[in-house]
Structures are given as C-alpha cells and as structure tokens.
Amino acid sequence: MKFSLNWLKTYLDTDASAEEIAAKLNAIGLEVEGVDDPAQTLDGFRIAHVLTAAKHPDADKLQVLSVDTGEGEPLQVVCGAPNARAGMKGVLGLPGAVVPANGMKLRKSAIRGVESNGMMCSVRELELGEDHDGIIELPDDAPIGTSFAEYHGSSPIFDVAITPNRPDCMGVYGVARDLAAAGLGTLKPLDIAKTAGAYTCPVEIRTEDAEGCPAFHGRVIRGVRNGVSPDWMQDALRSAGQRPISALVDITNYLMLGFGRPAHAYDLAKLNGAVVARRARDGETVLALNEKTYTLDSSMTVIADDSGVHDIAGIMGGEHSGVSDTTQDVLLEIAYFNPEAIGVTGRKLGLASDARTRFERGVDPAFLDDGLDLLTQLVLDICGGEASEVVRAGEAPLDTKVVAFDPALTSRLGGVDVAEAEQRAILAKLGFAAGEDWRVGVPTWRPDVEGAPDLVEEIVRIYGLDKVESTALPRAEGVAKPTATAQQKLERRVRRAAAARGLNEAITWSFIPVAEAAHFVSDDQALWQLDNPISEDMKAMRPSLLPGLLSAAKRNMDRGASGVRLFEIGRRYLRGADGMSDERPTLAVLLAGEKTPRGWASGKAAAFDAYDAKAEAVALLAEAGAPVDKLQVMGEAGEQFHPGQSATLRLGPKNVLARFGTLHPKTLEAFDVEGPVMAVEIFLDAIPGKKGAQEFARVAYAPPALQSVMRDFAFLVDVDVPAGDLLRSVKSADKVNIVDARIFDDFRGQGVPEGKKSLAVEVTLQPGEKSYTEEDLKGISDKVVKSAAKQGAELRG
C-alpha cells in the first residue's frame, strides 16, 4: 500500500522525518518496501517568468520565449504550447533535468534552427496530472528561480507491505494509529459531521442475503456537480498509485485508501426500482468497470435493481450504473460483506481489486455509519447537493471479542519484561480496552486478534522487538548425531558425482501437462491427476523426470545451446495398487546436441550415442554403491526409447536398476525436440543397500605389496553372445586372483569363421603373499578358459 507523508500527517500530528517514520514502521511490523521522494524527480525544474514571446521564424506553431530564471541573463526557450505568452509564470526544465513522464534528459539544442535552453513543462510531463493542453501557469506571486519541487510541496511516498492479518492497516488512518501507539506522534481525532437528512430516501434499500451481506446502508444526494476533485485529493490519490477520475469516484477511492473502507456511488438516474443485496442467479452476467463481462452463479453476492445486476458485491462495480460528468443525483452505498464469500467469488471470477483485497481480509463492521457520514461530508463539500435520510438494511456483526489476559504472559512468551501499566497503555493506544481484571475488549477493526498470545505480540512489537534479547537455544554436550537418512546420503553422493562428470543440475516442475505425462506411462490408470490444478499445463504429477528435462533441453537448444548435459534428482509419482500415491526417488540424465564440437582434427561435430548414456548410467550406479560388476544388460527399456538403441541394467531378471539409450523419434516429436537425444533413468530405490552402518565409509587405502600381472585371452564366440556375459564369466573364474577384466578388441574378418567373432580379454591378476609361479599362472588360465566355455567361447589358437 502506498501513501504520501502529507496524507499520513492528515491523521498523525508528528514532526518525524520520512526516514524516522520508515524506521518505526519497520520496527512495529509494517515492512517498508521503499520510500520515494518525488522532489528528486523534479530536480532541475525552476519557476520562471516569461519576459517576451515571439513567433518562431521557421515554424507557425512554435514561439521563441525569453525566460527569466532569477539567475543571470534571461534564457531563450522554444515552446509549442498554445498558452505560452509574455508575462506568465511557469515551470522551466533546465538542461540536465530529466522529464518524469518519458525519462528524456533535457539539453541545449536547436529547434528548427533556433537555440533552446530547456523546456517549459505541462502538468502531464511532470506527472502531476493528465492536463497536456498547455504549459503550467503559476500564480503571479510565485517566486522566480525557486525550485518547483520546493514550491509545489512534494511529499515522500511510502510503499508499505501490509500482511494479510492486518486489515486495520489497509488504510492510512490505521497506519497512523499504529505509529501514534509507538510514540511517533499523536493520532488526530476524526471530525465526522453527522448530516441530517433533508428528505426521505427515494430509493428502497434492502438485503436479501443475510449471510453474504449482513448490513447494507445507503443514502441519496441530489443536485450534485461531478467535476474535478480538489488538488489535495488528487495528490493523495496519485501518491497511492490511483489515477484521479472525477470528484465522486475520487471521493469513494479516498475513503477506501484513507480508512480501508470501500464504498460505491451509483448514478441514481441509471437505477430502476429497489436496490438490493442478493445472491446472483446462475448464468446472470454483469459488465464490470474494467469493461469485462462476468458470468455469475448462485454462490455470489451482488447488488441489483429491477433491471439486473449492477455490482459484484465487495469486488467491483458495474459499468452501466457508474457515475459520469452528467450525474446529478447519486446513491451512496456502504456495506459489510462476508470476507470468506468475497474471497470465494474473487477466485471463481479471477477478479482482483482494491475493494476485494480489503473486504476479504475483513473491514471494520462498526465503521458503516461513520464511513457513510465521511462520504456524505466529502460529497457535499466538493460536489454540493442535498442529502436524504440514511437507510440501514440488516445489521453488521458487532459482537465484541473479550480476551482473558495475564500480563505475565508477555515475559514468558515475548521474552521481555514490560510493566503492567505500560502494557495497559500500549493496548489502549491501539484501541483495546483492558479492564481491571485484565479482560481485554478487542476493537472491531482487529479481526486478527483471537487470544492472549496475539495481545503479547501487539505489546512486544510496540514496546520494541529490538529490546528482546537474543538467547541461544540449549545444546546438549557432545557431538550431535547425524540426521540425514540413508536415502538422503545416497542422493547427495550421486548429485556430487553427476556434477563432477560435467552434468548440469536442473530442477523442473513435479506437475506437467497430462499429454506429456501420459507419454511416459503404459497404463493411464497409473497416472496421478490433480482435481484442482494451478493450471491445465500442471495437472498431472510426473511419472518420469524425462519430460521436464526434455522441456529444459528444448528451451536451451532453442536459444542456441550446441550441446546439453542435464541431470535431475527428484521423485516420480505413480498410482500404487492400493490407489495411493507412490513416490519413487529417481536420477535422470539427458544428453542432447553436440558431444564434442567440430575441430581441425575431428572434422564434424560428434553427437552423443547410446554408449555415452550407458557410461553415465554405469558410472553413477557405481557411485551409488550398486554392484556394477553383477549388472546384466537386458532389453525392454520402454516404448519411449528406441528399441534397437536402448537397454536396461538389472540385478537378476526382475530388479531393474536403470534404463538408458536413445529416445524414440516419436518421443522427440511429442516434445518438439530435435534428435538424437540420449537419456538415462536410475531408480535409486531399486539399488540394494549395503549392510552395516558404514555404508558410505571410505575404505582405507592399502596398496598391494606385489605387482599385478596381465594376461590376454582371445575367444571365438557366436556373434549374438553379449560381450558382457563373457566378461562376467571370465571374472568369476577365480575370484581370489582375478581383480579385473576388460574387453579390448572385437574382431570379425579374415581368420574368423562365419557367424563368429573374436573377443580379446585383458585379465588382471593380483598375487597375495608371494609371486606367481608358472604353474600358478597356468592353473588360473585353465580356469578362465573353462569358465568362458560356459558361454560357448573357444580359445583361439
């Protein structure tokens, strides 16, 4: 909420500076987001006296002015305003000044061949109003050479963030009350004139929705003149970010912003019959002041007459019954609306307004009569006219809450000792009535106060939060026990490993479009959909992390990224057999675009392939503690993957630890991503945990005493035998002596029979207490050959 210092001083008698007020507001819990001084934007603008005005020699609509700024020789200024003339006083922007309306920096320049030393300014150019018909004309007694900001009396503007629990501070008067309670001035008493009605109200006013609109007050003022509001009111509204419209509209806005009390003015000539607060009928429509038509339902409260709906109650008025320049008779309406109902209606219609913001937080139900009297007083003073009697329909909920309070609670809960007399004084300044027995009556403008802890908060924030001593929480002696779970440790480990491998971490939405989610489930029944999503594009809970990574890759590649290496650790969500949500921790990797850029040695850029995906899967599984030596490479990666360029990594036929490979062209088409794209999904919950508490403890480095021995073997096997199967057989031949084995050649050609391939295996042997003898090496080699034979392998001669 924004307001000026001048407006604040209308209700608060204080000599405090803007800086002191801002500091105090922050101290009492009303956070100041900024203080803007309009005087700074008017720096460089001076009051000037036009000495002469002559026609421009080369432009019919321009004049050459001689302007006295009170400093030295007169300045020559070219001006196109029709009201520029000799003898007038106006506002001159000197070279170097910045025009607030458009940010243009003024400089000495030639206009149609004539030198101009600045610019005579209009009201709109200085953002002081909408008038742009001519330059500003100041009174004859305006002091020449004086800063226009000083002459105009610019006031600092506060931007305060009001939390939802403080509806009493949604008006400037409420902020002034808080500052006065904090000792930064004295709250001025309101001068509310009670206007007696000169005639019976000609309009029937009633409420037929006691739940949505418990109280509905109104009166007619006839013979008004709806012109321009006074300058002081326009200045106040502009400081709050409101554009002045007309006197009647400005008056209602002034009441709302000044006292947090929305009200409305209807053009009586546009009403037909009784004005009623009622429930809307299903399908009824209303054209609101924002020029949009809304379709209503029976849960919404409206203000209507015999012709139809004129107002979405508590949110926005209608276009048809609004006041205009020709309005002569006006119906003033002020009501109390149910906060919960206002919130529901606003969300259904997707309609936000200043009135809704105040009504759904809770306005003061006791301010109906005073609010209407203030409104009447302003209309009569500014627009003239004659007021009718007040019509009051229904009753506002005025039940006063009483809270039993123990002043010792301030010390126990607030951590600060405040004398009972001072506590009573603070509560009184805030409008609370504390009896001798410390039963405290809560003012009607504080719906947020429910119990004694709320009163402690009020006392402490006014007394001074800075006076609460910082006390460290007690800490038990000794070393704190670790709190991270095994799953959290696993995720941290693989996250560091993925980043170390050059992958960039992405964090994507858990909610995705239904079409994208359905592409990654084989059974639509397993898909989780939200009944009340944020939007249709966030309706399904992701069954895989790959949709989010595909969208992220597309955004990066659309913006020129040549290669993308992404990973994400998160949860997949599937519907379990019991119908409940099944969350599964997963690590996903996506590789797209160029693996290596083009160069003089390699020529063309190299793209990622399925083997790159497998390498990432195996490396990250190893970091996660999976027994990668025992993994089996099998098919059935899923229909989202290319069937000939993908596989799964399993421990046994059923326990799938990961899937990897090239994504299917149809998958890429569904996400509008250019291929090829490689993907990996590692199912972290499928990785078997290690026994013992030291599951991720680093093993002490103990190098062997003897040098390892390498032996090479070449086997003939059928071409359809996977190399990994042969490798596992070789490693299992002698688990004591064989510490590693790897394929280093796959040959098919001359010397190799048709339908066969030659796989060369390098076996690493590690002696223990003594070096190998020839007999030892022969025995191990025989075991290797025998074990390989189980895969149909034959040692080449």
Average pLDDT estimate for 558-569:
94
pLDDT at 149 over 90: no
Q: pLDDT: is 579 or 409 the higher one?
A: 409
- The token duo for 188 is 């001025």
Question: What CATH number does the domain located at 709-795 have?
Answer: 3.30.70.380
The 3 state secondary structure assigned to 695-753 is CCCCCCCCCCCCCCEEEEEEEEEECCCCHHHHHHHHHCCCCCCEEEEEEEEEECCCCCC
Q: Where are the alpha helices (DSSP H) in 28-65?
A: 38-41
pLDDT at 693 over 70: no
* pLDDT confidence of residue 447: 93
Which CATH code, of 1.10.287.130, 3.50.40.10, 3.40.50.300, 3.60.21.10, is assigned to 205-394? 3.50.40.10
Average pLDDT estimate for 577-584:
72
Q: Which residue has the tokens 């191990």?
A: 780
pLDDT at 221 over 90: yes
Average pLDDT estimate for 598-604:
79
* pLDDT confidence of residue 703: 85
Average pLDDT, the chain: 91
Distance CA 647, CA 645 (A): 7
Query: Which residue type, as a one-letter code, is found at position 292?
Result: K
- Could you tell me which residues are annotated as the binding site for Mg(2+)? 448, 454, 457-458
* Stretch(es) of the chain classified as CATH 3.30.56.10: 2-36+157-187, 402-467
pLDDT at 581 over 80: no
Q: Where are the beta strands (DSSP E) in 430-562?
A: 433-434, 439-441, 504-505, 511-512, 540-541
* Stretch(es) of the chain classified as CATH 3.30.930.10: 486-686
* Stretch(es) of the chain classified as CATH 2.40.50.140: 40-152
Q: Where are the beta strands (DSSP E) in 56-156?
A: 63-68, 75-79, 89-93, 109-111, 114-116, 119-120
- The token duo for 186 is 């004295």
* pLDDT confidence of residue 577: 65
Tens of pLDDT, residue by residue over 655-666, are: 999 999 999 999
Q: Transcribe 445-474 into DSSP letters.
A: T-TT--SHHHHHHHHHHHH-GGGSPP-PPP
Query: Per-residue confidence at 510, pLDDT binned at 50, 70, 90?
Result: very high
The percentage of the chain sitting over the pLDDT mark of 90, rounded to a whole number, equals 75
Question: What CATH number does the domain located at 402-467 have?
Answer: 3.30.56.10
Tens of pLDDT, residue by residue over 306-365, are: 999 999 999 999 888 889 999 999 999 999 999 999 999 999 999 999 999 999 999 999
Question: What CATH number does the domain located at 40-152 have?
Answer: 2.40.50.140
Which CATH code, of 3.30.70.2520, 3.30.930.10, 3.40.50.1110, 3.10.690.10, is assigned to 486-686? 3.30.930.10
Residues 6 or more apart whose CB falls under 8 angstroms from that of 258 comprise 7, 10, 11, 171, 172, 173, 236
* Count of CA atoms in the C-beta half-sphere (13 A) of 793: 27
Is residue 785 within 8 A of residue 792, CB to CB? The reply is no
**Is the preceding omega at residue 753 within 30 degrees of 0, hence cis?**
no
- Could you tell me which residues are annotated as the binding site? 448, 454, 457-458
Q: pLDDT: is 689 or 653 the higher one?
A: 653
Tens of pLDDT, residue by residue over 708-745, are: 999 999 999 999 888 888 998 999 999 899 999 999 99
The CATH class for the domain spanning 2-36+157-187 reads alpha beta
